[in-house]
A = this chain, B = another copy of it.
Amino acid sequence: MCSAERIDGKLISQKIHEETLEESKKLKEKHNLQPGLVVVLIGEDPASQVYVNMKEKKSKELGFYSEKIVLNKEATMDEVLTLIHKLNNDPRVHGILVQSPPPPQIDEEKVIESIDPKKDVDCFHAENVGKMLIGKTDGFYPCTPYGVMKLLEYSDINPSGKHAVIIGRSNIVGKPMMSLLVQKAKGANATVTVCHSRTPNIPELARQADIVVAAIGKPEFVTADMVKEGAVVIDVGINRVEDATRKRGYRLVGDVAFDEVSKKASKITPVPGGVGPMTIAMLMQNAVKACKMQNGITD
Residues of chain A at the chain B interface (Cβ within 8 Å): 109, 125-136, 139, 160-161, 163, 169, 171, 175, 178-179, 182-184, 189-201, 205
Contacts and interface: CB of A to CB of B under 8 A. Distances in A.
A169 B182 contact: yes
Copies of chain A in the complex: 2
A135 B163 CA distance: 25
A194 B196 contact: no
22 contacts: A125-B130, A126-B129, A126-B131, A127-B130, A129-B133, A130-B130, A130-B131, A133-B179, A134-B171, A161-B199, A161-B200, A169-B183, A175-B179, A178-B182, A178-B194, A184-B196, A189-B196, A191-B194, A191-B198, A191-B201, A191-B205, A193-B194
Contacts of A198: 160-161, 184, 189-191
A197 B127 CA distance: 27
Nearest to A188: B198
A177 to B, nearest CB: 12
Contact of A126 (B109, B127, B189, B200): B127
Residue of A131, A133, A135, A197 most packed against chain B (CB within 10 A): A133
Contacts of A131: 126, 129-130
Contacts of A133: 129-130, 133, 171, 175, 179
What are the 4 tightest A-B residue pairs by CB atom distance, in nearest-first order? A130-B130, A126-B130, A129-B130, A193-B193
Contacts of A199: 161, 163, 191
Contacts of A200: 161
Given A129-B130, A169-B182, A184-B196, 16 more contacts: A126-B126, A126-B134, A128-B130, A130-B130, A133-B171, A160-B198, A161-B199, A175-B179, A178-B192, A178-B194, A184-B197, A191-B198, A191-B199, A191-B201, A191-B205, A193-B193
Contacts of A135: 171
A183 to B, nearest CB: 8
Residue of A160, A175, A191, A194 most packed against chain B (CB within 10 A): A191
Nearest to A195: B191
A106 to B, nearest CB: 18
B182 A175 contact: yes
A175 to B, nearest CB: 6
Contact of A178 (B127, B129, B178, B189): B178
A196 B205 contact: no
A126 to B, nearest CB: 3
Nearest to A165: B193
Contacts of A136: 109, 126
Contacts of A134: 126, 129, 171, 175
Contacts of A163: 199, 201, 205
Given A127-B126, A130-B125, A134-B129, A182 B161 contact: no
A196 B193 CA distance: 12
